[in-house]
C-alpha cells in the first residue's frame, strides 16, 4: 500500500486541489481565462474521452468555443504542473457539444462506471471528482434554509446563499463495506435489485448513520442484514465512489456468531462461502459464485482475505 492508499479505481487523482489558489475570486477568473487552462466539458454527467484506441480524457481550451458564462461557472478541479484544470457542464446540442462531436479525432461521452474500466487510473480519478462535483452543484442551486439562489465560491469548493449568506459545503456520503469471516469461510450477500437471480455475491455494505463510528456502523449493518454479530473490526482501505458521491470504507471483521438470519426486505440471500470456492471464483472457475470485478473495493476485500493478506484469527 502506498502513502496515497491502496490505489483503488477512482482514488488516484493526481491534481493538487489548490487550497491556497482558491482564496482569490479575481485570480481564479484570471486563471480560467488563460489559454493554458484546461476544461472538461461534461454532458448529462457523462465524461468526454478521446475516441481513439487509447482512451483518455478530452480537455478543451478557452479558445474552443467556450463562452464567458461557462468560464465564470467553471469548477476548479485542481492544478498540475502549473496548469489549472476545470470542469464545466454543457447541454446536448449546444455549440460546444457540436464542436466536440464533430472534431476529426472525435469525442465520446461515457458514463463514469465505464470510465473506471477504460481510463488510466489518474484520468479515472479526475473524472470521478468532476462528476461528483457537478452532480452536487446541480442540486445546490437553491439554499436549503431559505430557498434563495446560491452562487459558487472558491472555484466550487463552497456555495453561498444570496439572501441569508449561509455557506453550503460539498457532500460526501460514507458507506461501510465489510468482509466478515470466521477463519475459513466468509460472509457474502446478495442485495435486492440488479444482482437478484444471478450468482453474484458481495461484501455487506450500508450507509453510516449520523453520530456513528465506523466500527459501530459495521456491527449494526452486519447484524441488520445477516443477523450475525461481529468483533475485531479492521480497516483495510477506502474508495471514492462517484455514484453519486459516496466514500466506501472497506473493513474486515471476525464473526462472533454463525447463524444467518438475513433481512428479507433488503437481501435476496446471504451465505457463508468456503475459502476454496472464493479462490475458484477469483480464478473465474466457480459455477456457483461470482464476485464483484476489480473496479469495486469489494473485490479487493474478498481477495485480501482469500489470499491471507490480512491478519489471521
Ligand atoms: Zn439562504
284-307 pLDDT, tens per residue?
A: 999 999 999 999 999 999 999 999
Query: If you measure from the C-alpha of residue 19 to the centroid of ligand 1, how many angstroms do you get, rounded to a whole number?
Result: 25
Confidence of residue 65 (pLDDT cuts 50, 70, 90): confident
Query: If you measure from the C-alpha of residue 32 to the centroid of ligand 1, how many angstroms do you get, rounded to a whole number?
Result: 28
- Name the helix (H) or strand (E) containing 146: none
Name the least confident of 24-28, 63-67, 196-200, 292-296. Answer: 63-67
Confidence of residue 312 (pLDDT cuts 50, 70, 90): low
Q: Are 70 and 134 in contact (CB under 8 A)?
A: no
Query: If you measure from the C-alpha of residue 244 to the centroid of ligand 1, how many angstroms do you get, rounded to a whole number?
Result: 24
Query: If you measure from the C-alpha of residue 150 to the centroid of ligand 1, how many angstroms do you get, rounded to a whole number?
Result: 8
- Name the helix (H) or strand (E) containing 230: strand 230-241
**Domain layout of the chain by residue ranges:** 21-139, 141-171, 173-306
Query: If you measure from the C-alpha of residue 25 to the centroid of ligand 1, how many angstroms do you get, rounded to a whole number?
Result: 21
24-58 pLDDT, tens per residue?
A: 999 999 999 999 999 999 999 999 999 876 789 99
Query: If you measure from the C-alpha of residue 67 to the centroid of ligand 1, how many angstroms do you get, rounded to a whole number?
Result: 29
Q: Which option is the CATH number for 173-306: 3.40.50.2000, 3.40.50.720, 3.40.630.30, 3.90.79.10?
A: 3.90.79.10
Which residues, chain by chain, have CB under 5 Å from ion ligand 1? 143, 145-146, 148, 161, 163-164, 166
108-141 pLDDT, tens per residue?
A: 999 999 999 999 999 999 999 999 999 999 999 9
Global confidence as pTM: 0.93
Confidence of residue 104 (pLDDT cuts 50, 70, 90): low
Task: For 44-107, give the DSSP string.
Answer: TTBEEEE-SSS--B--B-TTTT--HHHHHTPEEEEEETTEEEEEEEE-TTSHHHHHHHTSSS-E
- Fold classified for 21-139: Nucleoside Triphosphate Pyrophosphohydrolase (3.90.79)
Q: Do 21-139 and 173-306 fold alike per CATH?
A: yes
Query: If you measure from the C-alpha of residue 159 to the centroid of ligand 1, how many angstroms do you get, rounded to a whole number?
Result: 10
Amino acid at each position: 500500500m502506498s502513502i496515497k492508499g491502496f490505489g483503488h479505481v477512482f482514488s488516484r487523482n493526481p491534481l493538487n486541489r489548490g487550497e491556497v489558489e482558491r482564496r482569490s475570486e479575481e485570480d481564479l477568473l484570471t486563471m480560467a481565462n488563460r489559454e493554458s487552462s484546461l476544461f472538461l466539458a461534461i454532458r448529462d454527467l457523462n465524461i468526454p474521452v478521446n475516441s481513439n484506441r487509447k482512451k483518455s480524457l478530452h480537455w478543451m481550451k478557452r479558445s474552443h468555443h467556450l463562452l464567458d458564462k461557462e468560464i465564470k461557472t467553471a469548477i476548479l478541479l485542481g492544478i498540475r504542473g502549473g496548469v489549472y484544470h476545470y470542469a464545466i457542464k454543457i447541454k446536448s446540442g449546444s455549440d460546444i457539444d457540436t464542436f466536440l462531436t464533430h472534431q476529426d479525432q472525435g469525442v465520446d461521452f461515457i458514463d463514469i462506471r465505464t470510465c473506471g474500466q477504460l481510463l488510466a487510473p489518474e484520468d479515472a480519478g479526475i473524472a470521478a471528482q468532476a462528476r461528483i462535483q457537478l452532480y452536487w452543484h446541480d442540486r445546490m442551486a437553491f439554499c436549503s434554509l431559505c430557498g434563495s439562489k446560491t452562487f459558487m465560491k472558491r472555484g466550487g469548493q463552497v456555495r453561498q446563499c444570496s439572501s441569508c449568506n449561509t455557506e453550503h459545503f460539498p457532500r460526501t456520503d460514507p458507506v461501510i463495506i465489510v468482509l466478515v469471516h470466521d477463519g475459513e469461510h466468509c460472509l457474502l450477500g446478495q442485495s435486492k435489485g440488479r444482482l437478484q437471480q444471478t450468482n453474484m455475491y458481495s461484501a455487506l455494505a450500508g450507509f453510516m448513520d449520523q453520530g456513528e463510528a465506523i466500527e459501530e456502523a459495521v456491527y449494526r449493518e452486519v447484524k441488520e442484514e445477516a443477523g450475525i454479530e461481529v468483533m475485531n473490526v479492521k480497516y483495510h482501505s477506502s474508495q471514492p465512489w462517484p455514484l453519486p458521491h459516496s466514500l466506501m470504507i472497506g473493513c474486515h471483521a471476525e464473526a462472533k456468531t454463525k447463524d444467518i438470519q438475513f433481512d428479507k426486505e433488503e437481501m435476496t440471500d446471504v451465505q457463508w462461502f468456503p475459502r476454496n470456492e472464493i479462490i475458484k471464483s477469483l480464478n473465474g472457475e466457480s459455477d456457483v459464485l461470482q464476485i464483484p470485478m476489480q473496479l469495486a473495493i469489494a473485490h479487493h476485500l474478498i481477495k485480501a482475505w482469500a489470499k491471507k493478506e490480512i491478519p489471521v484469527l
